Amino acid sequence: MDHPLPTRVYVVSDSVGETGESVVRAAAMQFHPVPVEIVRAPFIHDIEGIDKVINAIRIHGGIVVFTLVIPELRDDLIAKAKEHGIPHIDLLGPVVNTLGQALRQEPRRQPGMIHPLDEDYFKKVEAVEFAVKYDDGRDFSGIQKADIILLGVSRTSKTPLSMYLAHKRFKVANVPLVPEMQPPAAIYTVAKDKIIGLRIDPDKLNVIRQERLRTLGLAENATYANVERIKIELAFADKIMSKIGCVIFDVSNRAVEETASLVMDHIERVQ
């Protein structure tokens, strides 16, 4: 069976590019599981930066989506994209122009206004750094400091879920559950209300792991993607989660955003 190469989408912004990336990710979910690779090009403040993006697309192919509020940069990108036949989408321009007409006012054309460097912004940065530091059992000391602890076997979306929740200002540690290794004792001593177990259908996990092996160029029949091995891992994970008595969410057919919403609702209820 042939597997399509990922479509590459370059998100160009004169700020951090988070708005553009969020829109692209939301749109890409409508085509799941067709792969979409997002390349963020933030803080583009000059024509040289535009040229680098255009050259990258000419070499590797792709689409450009942009949130440029500086007219000169936006116009330059549009002109060069048209010149080279590159599909391009202006996310902010039409909205800003229409609002300007309705309000009878000129926009400020100032990048980064949606992300002011206030206390809330720095909390978000801190949460992201926390998620990276305590990702996938790198350092179990984060369990005691975390707002949320995610438990699950490999490929249950622990890392992307951690990062999504971090952008919502939650400090998240995630712990991989592997039968050959007992989980850290700390998960039995922290409040169970902040521990989230992630469950998944074994057949679904088998497909995900096979795709992961293909991506890495490895044989699809490796033990990692063996159905019987997967069932052993899931049984072990269920045993640990039952012992803790934590809430469990099934991620089999849920997007990361959906699971995150369930997690945040749970945390809000128990706080």
Is 154 known to sit in a ligand binding site? yes
Is 52 known to sit in a ligand binding site? no
CA dihedral defined by 16, 132, 122, 196, rounded to 10 degrees? 110
CA 70 – CA 152 distance, rounded (Å)? 44
- Give residue for tokens 């069976």: 1
Is 251 known to sit in a ligand binding site? no
Question: Cβ atoms within 10 A of the Cβ of 191, count?
Answer: 9
Nearest in space to 81 (alpha carbons), one of 30, 9, 31 = 9
Is 155 known to sit in a ligand binding site? yes
Helix and strand tally (H, E) in the chain?
9, 8
Contact 152, 176 (CB under 8 A): yes
Cα 87-88-92 angle, rounded to 5 deg: 165
Is 269 known to sit in a ligand binding site? no
Is 157 known to sit in a ligand binding site? yes
Which amino acids are annotated as binding site, given as ranges? 152-159
Which amino acids are annotated as binding site for ADP, given as ranges? 152-159
